[in-house]
Amino acid sequence: MKKRLWIGFGCLFVFFLVAVLAVPEYRLTLYGYLHGENKFKGWPTSYWQYKVKNHIVKRSNWLTISY
């Protein structure tokens, strides 16, 4: 019984880890909290850096996208 419980916890941990690493926002947030980065509005600076870069790329490519 104890073995099954540990296997269940292990599977949940692996699932949580894959979910965190798959989404860049969650990955950067976890990275920021682990490294003790400064926070703004509850989010670490690495998260805001990703958001600003993403926004700049979208703004700079708005003329090249044709609908």
Domain assignments of the chain as residue spans, ordered by start: 23-67
Render the burial of 32-53: b for 16+ CB within 10 Å, e for the rest: beeeebeeeeebbebbbebeee
- Tell me, what DSSP letter sits at residue 38? -
Token couple for 26:
């969650």
pTM of the model: 0.52
Mean pLDDT along residues 10-32: 85
Q: What are the beta bridge partners of residue 43?
A: 40
Mean pLDDT along residues 54-62: 77
Give the integer Cα–Cα distance in Å for 19 and 29: 13
Token couple for 47:
């998260």
Q: What are the beta bridge partners of residue 39?
A: 44
